């Protein structure tokens, strides 16, 4: 403290000069309208810019909470939409009073904890598990489109088989023509997959939309997969060679929605019983 007082005393002339300069500037601003207006306009602009920067910093550090809230809201809205239109088609296309059909799918928001895109068999870890009602073989989607299917589950986590997995085949439909095929990743480009088994007499074009078919009880019907990005047809082939640009960029995956089908076990059970009868 003694050194501080000694420093102030040694530089008293400078601090006195500085105080007088500030006082003079205040007097000029206070007693002259033009200088006063310029000062307050400049100070307001500076404060506004400072507040904008400060707000931007606060929003940046709040992105995690914002994304979490948006993901939960998306899940809630999907559940509400499911009650209005069970197959997620436009409301005026399907009207039903069947409570079983209305509640066919339940949506659970989840955060991506781990994700791989550089392997032939990629997997995604989510922060929801048995305690939240998650089970194996549940579908996983995002706001952009199909993500994958739950493989294994623990109490608080689950591992999802990504659509970017060469062993995964997903039933799909070419929306414009209504022809069914299968989406399968080739293990090369994380942004594209192959659409197989579209007959050669079908004439798909670049830009055609590909969505889930709803043929199984896992994925709801009409979930976006991607758009046709390349069309080839060799003379000797029975099917078109189609590349699909995936709607979901798996490198930017953050929050997803787990889809629980309340009728999946019933459908699987009856299909298995039919298969057993056929074998006999």
Structural domain boundaries of the chain? 2-60, 108-263
Question: Is pLDDT at 165 greater than 90 in this prediction?
Answer: yes
Question: Is pLDDT at 48 greater than 80 in this prediction?
Answer: no
Mean pLDDT to the nearest integer, 147-173: 93
pLDDT for 19 = 84
Quote the percentage of the chain above a pLDDT of 70. 68
Class of domain 108-263: mainly beta
Give the burial string for 93-117 (b: 16+ CB within 10 Å, else e): eeeeeeeeeeebbbbbbbebeebee
**Overall pTM > 0.75:** no
- Closest by CA to 158, choosing from 144, 147, 172, 173, is 147
pLDDT for 88 = 44
Mean pLDDT to the nearest integer, 123-135: 92
pLDDT for 79 = 64
Distance, in Å, from the CA atom of 184 to the CA atom of 150, rounded to the nearest integer, reads 17
Instruction: For strands 146-153 and 139-141, give the pairing.
Output: antiparallel
Question: Is pLDDT at 99 greater than 50 in this prediction?
Answer: no
Distance, in Å, from the CA atom of 71 to the CA atom of 193, rounded to the nearest integer, reads 26
pLDDT for 98 = 45
Residue carrying structure tokens 């997803």 = 256
The conformational region for residue 94 under phi > 0 = left, psi -120 to 50 = alpha, else beta, is beta
- Higher per-residue confidence, 214 vs 35: 214
End-to-end CA distance of the chain: 98
Give the model confidence (pLDDT) of 243-280 as tens digits. 999 999 998 888 899 998 877 667 666 766 766 777 66
pLDDT for 269 = 67
Give the model confidence (pLDDT) of 178-189 as tens digits. 999 999 999 999
Mean pLDDT to the nearest integer, 17-23: 81
Instruction: For strands 192-196 and 241-246, give the pairing.
Output: antiparallel
pLDDT for 129 = 92
Give the model confidence (pLDDT) of 130-140 as tens digits. 999 999 999 99
Of 19-23, 85-89, 133-137, highest mean pLDDT? 133-137
């Amino acid at each position: 403290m003694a050194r501080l007082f000694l420093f102030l005393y040694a530089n008293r002339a400078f601090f006195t000069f500085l105080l007088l300069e500030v006082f003079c500037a205040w007097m000029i601003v206070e007693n002259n309208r033009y200088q006063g207006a310029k000062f307050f306009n400049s100070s307001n602009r500076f404060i506004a810019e400072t507040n904008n920067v400060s707000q931007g910093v606060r929003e940046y550090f709040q992105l995690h909470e914002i994304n979490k809230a948006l993901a939960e809201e998306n899940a809630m809205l999907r559940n509400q939409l499911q009650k209005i239109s069970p197959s997620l088609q436009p409301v005026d296309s399907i009207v039903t009073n069947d409570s079983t059909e209305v509640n066919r799918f339940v949506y659970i928001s989840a955060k991506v904890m781990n994700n791989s895109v550089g392997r032939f068999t990629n997997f995604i870890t989510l922060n929801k598990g048995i305690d939240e009602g998650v089970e194996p073989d549940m579908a996983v989607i995002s706001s952009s489109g199909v993500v994958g299917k739950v493989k294994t589950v623990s109490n608080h986590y689950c591992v999802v088989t990504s659509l970017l997995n060469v062993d995964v085949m997903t039933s799909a439909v070419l929306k414009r023509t209504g022809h069914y095929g299968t989406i399968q990743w080739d293990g090369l480009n994380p942004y594209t997959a192959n659409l197989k088994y579209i007959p050669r007499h079908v004439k798909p074009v670049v830009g055609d939309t590909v969505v889930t078919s709803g043929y199984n009880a896992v994925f709801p019907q009409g979930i976006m997969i991607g758009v046709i990005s390349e069309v080839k047809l060799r003379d000797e082939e029975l099917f078109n060679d189609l590349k699909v640009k995936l709607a979901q960029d798996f490198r930017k995956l953050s929050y997803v929605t787990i889809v629980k089908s309340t009728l999946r076990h019933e459908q699987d059970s009856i299909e298995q019983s039919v298969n057993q009868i056929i074998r006999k």
